[in-house]
Amino acid sequence: MNETTHDIIIIGGGPAGLTAGIYSAREMFDTLLLEKTICGGLAADTDLIENYPGFPEGINGRELMVRFKEQAQGFGTQVVEFKEIKKVEPLEGKIKIETDKETYCALAVIIASGSIPKKLGIPGEERLRGKGVSYCATCDGPLYKDKDVLVVGGGDAAAEEALFLTKFAQKVTLIHRRDELRAARIFQERLQKNKKINLLLSHIPLSINGRDYVDSITMKDLKTNEEKKIEVCGVFMYIGFLPNTKFLEGIVELDNLGYIKTNEKMQTSVPRIYAVGDVRSKNVRQIDVACGEATIAVVSLRDYLIERRRKL
């Protein structure tokens, strides 16, 4: 096995991980960032980010994340993509990290592994995944030009992506299980004003139908108990996310949903392991919040690492 020791290893290349890379490399720490797929995280799947400060016209998510990555690499962070972490093991004075093939060691680790879209688990969802069932409107939306599509969910993501889909689709039905949306007021107002949006509150999906491709969805009106079927070619799921923490079970303390518990310095239950961004147990998940947490983690580690390096 090929073993390397770094000052900081960052797990995850979304906004939080890349910001940790920028701050860590600027402190001249030997910084390695390992990303499971390609850098950018969920932010890179967003067409237009309007609430990240400094871009009054908004900015494409992929473009913003490419800039984050260039900035981290520019200061010296080594970014390695397509490295999935299987195990994190705290040892005396260092932390060992394993992929299928490699072992890395670091004096400190910052976990920024983010989250993955939640599945509904209804009939047809898995079978028709990629055949009309999608978890990424930015990736698949353009395939639905002049077609009817449906979005499930009532949060910011469902509202934002439903609005994005109106650029292509003829009609976008948004169904939400409660009688009020969770999404920010600005999104709610835009949904109301958009003539292509058909908002169905108090509705739940029961099954996604179609032989080879999605052709309809069956849903239930929770107020009347009536079941109805509507014809759609695409179903986009935005019902929240699940944390990427499987590889950390039994290592750091998690909350009952699997998110990582930290203190205000972003330190987990294990010394020298920090957690930042969407994977952290908290209420507000935004890009600028993720960036702030990454900054706090690196600054909190700074004195320890300088002292450790002096002793090595």
Which residues are part of the catalytic machinery? 136, 139-140
Long-range contacts formed by 303-306: CB under 8 A, 24+ apart: 304/108, 304/272, 305/7, 305/8, 305/27, 305/29, 305/107, 305/108
Least gap, CB of 40 to ligand NAP (angstroms): 15
Q: Cα separation of 140 and 175, whole Å?
A: 19
Instruction: Give the nearer residue to ligand NAP in terms of CB position, either 95 or 277.
Output: 277
Closest residue to ligand NAP, judged by C-beta, is 155
Tell the smallest beta-carbon distance from residue 154 to ligand NAP (Å): 3
CB of 239 to ligand NAP, least distance (A): 4
User: What dihedral do alpha carbons 27, 28, 31, 33 form, nearest 10°?
Assistant: 60
**CB nearer ligand NAP, residue 108 or residue 162:** 162
- Residue closer to ligand NAP by CB (options 105, 136) is 136
Measured between alpha carbons, how far is 162 from 196 in angstroms, rounded to an integer? 10
Secondary structure (3-state) at 70 = helix
Minimum distance from residue 46 beta carbon to ligand NAP (Å):
7
Q: Where are the beta strands (DSSP E) in the chain?
A: 3-11, 31-34, 78-80, 87-91, 94-98, 103-111, 115-117, 133-134, 148-152, 171-175, 197-200, 203-209, 216-221, 227-231, 234-237, 241-243, 273-275
Binding footprint of ligand NAP on the chain (CB under 6 A): 51, 120, 152-158, 160, 176-178, 182, 204, 238-241, 285-286
Is the CB of 193 or the CB of 311 nearer to ligand NAP?
193
| CB of 268 closer than 8 Å to CB of 84 | no
Closer CB to ligand NAP, residue 151 or residue 251? Answer: 151
Residue 155 C-beta: closest distance to ligand NAP, Å: 2
